[in-house]
Every structure is written in structure tokens, then in C-alpha cells.
Amino acid sequence: MQTYLESLTPTEATDYSLWKATKRLKRPQTPIPPLRTSGGEWAKSDIQKVNTLADHFENILQPHTHDQTSNDKQDTPHPIGINKLPAIPIKKFTVPEVKVVINKLRSTKAPGHDLITGEIL
């Protein structure tokens, strides 16, 4: 540790290591709080936390079943809508044409039907 501290310098030659170390030391350390397991106990170690989160996500993230009725499918929201496809065929375009259009987009505008903002593009 002492050798490391002595090697720190504020010069470009060492990539400003003194300033980087100081910044890291001044940054507040926020501990990760313990989690409650499904049994109601506190998961304090990293392994216990990982297992608790894995169990939680395994329980809530279940795949959709393929036996949905037609009513279930109609209730699922879709940003574009099923019957709103373009009536005319889509014209072919090149990558440079797409880049030009994207560069003209203003990032402060609201997203379109696809819910993608100009900033994301």
C-alpha cells in the first residue's frame, strides 16, 4: 500500500493517478443493504443476495403460454396496431439515406408510433 501511495503523481506520465486516487477516496461509499429471503430472513452475504434475487426473478419472470385465447391477444397493447400497416409498399433505402434522416431528427421531439425517440436513434 505504501509503495502504491508513493507512486501517485499529478502528471500526465502516470495518467494523473494522484487525482484519480483522490477522487475515488472522496466518493461516498454506499453499501448495498441486505435483502429479505423468501423465508423472511436477512440475506447479508453476496452469495445469499444473488440466490435471493435469482429466486425472485425466477418466480416473477415466467414465459408466456402458447394457449392464449384470441381475447387475450386482443387485450395486449401494440404501439402500431395490427390494422395500421402501410397501404403502399415500402420504398427501398440505403444506409447513408437513413443516416441523413436520423441526423436531421431533433432529440427533444416526442417519439412516434414505434415509441423510439430521436435521442435513442
Each residue's pLDDT tens digit, 6-52: 777 777 766 667 877 787 778 887 877 888 988 899 998 889 999 99
- Residue 21: give the domain boundaries: 1-30
Domain membership of residue 73 (yes or no) is no
Domain membership of residue 20 (yes or no) is yes
| Distance between CA atoms of residues 5 and 90, nearest Å | 63
Domain membership of residue 60 (yes or no) is no
Domain membership of residue 12 (yes or no) is yes
pTM of the model: 0.33
Domain membership of residue 6 (yes or no) is yes
Domain membership of residue 46 (yes or no) is no
Residue pLDDT, tens place only, 64-109: 766 655 555 555 554 555 556 556 777 888 999 988 888 887 777 7
Q: Number of structural domains, the chain?
A: 1
Give the pLDDT score at 87: 63
Domain membership of residue 119 (yes or no) is no
Give the pLDDT score at 51: 92
The DSSP secondary structure of 10-73, one letter per residue, reads: SSGGGTTHHHHHHHHHHSPP-PPPPEE-TTS-EE-SHHHHHHHHHHHHHHH-PPPPS---HHHH
Q: Please tell me whether residue 103 adopts helix, strand or coil conformation.
A: helix
